[in-house]
Structure formats: structure tokens, C-alpha cells
Chains A and B, each alone.
With several copies, the nearest count.
Chain A
Amino acid sequence: MNNTIAMKRFEIVVGIEKLEELVEILDNSGVRGYSLLKNVGGLGSRGVRDPDDVLMEEENIMVVLACKGDQAQKVVDGLRPALKSFGGMCLISDCLWLEGPPISY
């Protein structure tokens, strides 16, 4: 497609208690843009997690992040050691960035 840049898309889900750590890793990897969704629930190795539970803090967050290939490698290198303690998941896929908005990747 015209006017598009090939990129990598990350989709990361972790418990909200890891958010600060995750953002720090992304910052250190030189990431300049990401989107953050809170109040995510789900099922995983720790069983069902429900962000609406008022007694147990079980909220997940989701980070969606688009960046170029070389940057993606840095993110992978930064994230991998932490993923074990984070739990959750990290998916990577290909996507196209439609040119237009100020560059934030």
C-alpha cells in the first residue's frame, strides 16, 4: 500500500502492578510511542483475573506498540529477561504505519 511504512506491532498484557517496570523497559529501549489500555481481564497461567473484583487487585493492562524493525529488536532484547517475572504475554506481528501523523515510533 502507498504511503505506508512496514513496522512491527507489539501487544503486551501484564498485571497492572508491573506497569511501572514495563514502561521503564520501553523507555530504556528507546520507544517513542505506545498505547495503554487499563481494566483488562483475562485467563492465563494464574487463572481468571477480573479487574472489577473490588477485594483482590487482579487488573491487567494491555500495551499496543508500533515501531520499526531495528527498534523492535531492542524492545525484544529489553523485554525478554523481564517477561518471566511479568507473566502475561507478548505478541509480535507485522503491520503498516499509515503516514501522516507526527512521527512517534
Chain B
Amino acid sequence: MATLQPVVLFFVFGVLAGVIKSDLKIPEALYKSLSLFLLIAIGFKGGVAMSKYEIMEVLPIATAMVVLSALIPLTAYPILRFIGKFTQADSGAISAHYGSVSAVTFAVGVAFLAAKDEYSEGYMVLIMALMEIPALVTGTILARAGASGGETKWGKLMHEILTGTSLYLLVAGVIIGYYAGMVKMVEPLDKMFMDLFMGVLAFFLLEMGLLAASRLKAVMAKGVFLISFGILFPMMAGLFGAYLGWIFGLSEGGTMLLAVLYASCSYIAAPAAMRIAVPDADPAISIGASLGVTFPFNIFLGVPIYWEMSHWFHTIPV
């Protein structure tokens, strides 16, 4: 078994603080500052790594992986709608969350690989940044298709997706990192965006734990189905991601990261987009499942499992 990373213990202590009603509180401005940092840093790191490739070489394969991620909400929707008995709006919105990605889960995956000194493709970050687009669009279509009532505000939705903080900062980070890598001036910026990455992640996970604890009740109320879905669906999506990564010839590390991306689900960008696109969906359900069930599952068990999956595929003789 892989060793548990110390950094995820911060999440545990966050949850615990919530459960025992400690007065521990992360100032809102700190939470927001840390998430800006993480987005830029993840992008920057990926951009620096990408500066070692010919972009044109990786573009088609990256595009394929992004486009295929639209299958995730398409699979999640019928499960939620017909087995879970959620409304069309809720099913679509939850699908969008699970099709989208969590940058922090990705970061935990990256840290896992770093601890193992495993290589992974730098452009995975770009895939992460772009995966939000098909997921949120597909989820919205599913939530709205054939439904009477209010027009979908597509213009507003696309603006929200394309200019939303997460996509914007990831892409900005990638471009700046790429440029810095090309002109060989990564040096003084890496002291901030690379060296401090794990420490900032630690703080962020502490807050994520507090947030997850505050959502637990909402999830429990929705019972067994949502919890099972929140664990089993990501494993399925992760398996699919690992399969794709292997098919596309990614390294073992890259394959694992693709599995993490397919398995992870959003709790920041997706809620913001769904509020605009599907205002009649209840955000408490999707955020509860995403943050209260899937996120902790992924960082504790999912990441090592996806690593095993990747490893397993790569032992298949071709």
C-alpha cells in the first residue's frame, strides 16, 4: 500500500474541527487567496513542463481526451435520473459537477506522484483546464432538454464558463509558465509557485475539511444512494480515464492523472455555472455529494486506487 501523504491529514483535522465544533475558522480572504494561488501555481507548473514539448504534437491527443470527457455527464445523468430519482434539473446539475474536475484533487494526485518521483506529462494541466467546458455544457443540455419553462441563458453560461476564475487562471498560469520556460526565466517565480505549493495545499485542505464537515448533514439526508454514487461513479470514471490514458500512450503517471481528472468532480466552478444555467437545481445536493463524499474518497482512497489502475493497464503486454 502507498503511504498516506502528510498533507491530506490537514483535511482530516479540518473535518474533525468541524465535527467537534472547534472555533477554528479560515478567514474568507485567506480561502480565496489560497485558491487563486493554487490555480495559478498548477497552471504555471504545467506550463513550465509543457515548454519542453512541441505544442502542436500534443494538441490532438489532448483535445481527444477533453472531448471524450463529455461522456462522463452523459453516463451519470441516467443513473441519477432513473435510479436516484432526482429531478431532471438536479440530475443534469450533478452530472455537470461530476463531468467537471477538481483542481485540488488533481493537486493531491500530483503530490502523490512527486512523492514517488514519478514522471507525468505536463499538458495534463491544460486538459484539466479545458475539461470544464464539455462537462458544463453537456450537463446543462441534459438539465434543460425538452423541459418547458425559462430559456437557458446560453450566452451568460458560456461567458461564466470561459471567463470564470478557475479556467481563466489555469490558462493564464499555463501561458505564463510556458513563456517562462521558453525564455528560461522560471527561476525566481518558482520559489513561490512551486516551492510553496504543498504548504498552501495543506492550508487549503484544512479549510476543505471544515467545508466538508459543514456539508455532511445535507448529504446524510439524501441517504444511501448519493453516498454510493459519490464513491462508485468516480471509480468507474477513473477506470475509464485510466483506460483512455493507456490507449493514448500516456506515461504511468499521466495515465493516473487522467484517471484522477475523470474521477474528480467540481465544487467551485460547477456550482457557479449551474446557478446561472440551471437555477432550479438544488446546489446543496451537488455540492454535498461532491465535497462531502467524492472529494474525501478521492484524496484518501481514489488516488492510490487510480495509481494501481494505471499500473495494472501498463502491465498489459501490447
Contact = CB atoms under 8 A, between A and B. Distances in A.
A56 B272 CA distance: 7
A55 B267 contact: yes
Nearest to A52: B28
Contacts of A52: 28
Contacts of B267: 55
B9 interface: no
A54 interface: yes
B31 A54 contact: yes
Contacts of B32: 54
Interface centre among A54, A55, A56, A57 (most CB of B within 10 A): A55
B287 A55 contact: yes
A35 to B, nearest CB: 20
A54 B283 CA distance: 13
Main secondary structure of the interface of A (DSSP, over half): loop
Contacts of A54: 28, 31-32, 211
A54 B268 CA distance: 9
B31 A56 contact: no
Interface of B: 28, 31-32, 211, 267-268, 271-272, 275, 283, 287, 291
Interface residues of A, number: 5
Nearest to B267: A55
A45 to B, nearest CB: 14
A55 B275 contact: no
A57 B267 CA distance: 12
A55 B28 contact: no
Nearest to B215: A55
B37 to A, nearest CB: 15
Given A54-B28, A55-B211, A55-B291, 5 more contacts: A54-B31, A54-B32, A55-B267, A55-B283, A56-B275
A52 B275 CA distance: 17
Interface of A: 52, 54-57
B272 A57 contact: yes
B287 to A, nearest CB: 6
Nearest to B25: A52
A56 B283 contact: yes
A56 B28 contact: no
Nearest to A51: B28
Contacts of B287: 55-56
B160 to A, nearest CB: 11
A36 B211 CA distance: 22
6 contacts: A52-B28, A54-B211, A55-B267, A55-B283, A56-B275, A57-B272
B25 to A, nearest CB: 9
Nearest to B268: A55
B135 to A, nearest CB: 18
A54 B272 CA distance: 11
A56 B211 contact: no
A33 to B, nearest CB: 20
Nearest to B211: A55
A99 B283 CA distance: 28
A92 B80 CA distance: 46
Contacts of B291: 55
Contacts of B271: 55-56
A52 B214 CA distance: 13
A57 B268 CA distance: 10
B212 to A, nearest CB: 10
B161 to A, nearest CB: 16
A55 B291 CA distance: 10
Contacts of B272: 57
Q: Nearest 6 pairs between A and B by C-beta? A: A56-B283, A54-B31, A55-B287, A54-B28, A55-B271, A56-B271
A53 to B, nearest CB: 9
Contacts of A55: 211, 267-268, 271, 283, 287, 291
A48 B272 CA distance: 18
B260 to A, nearest CB: 21
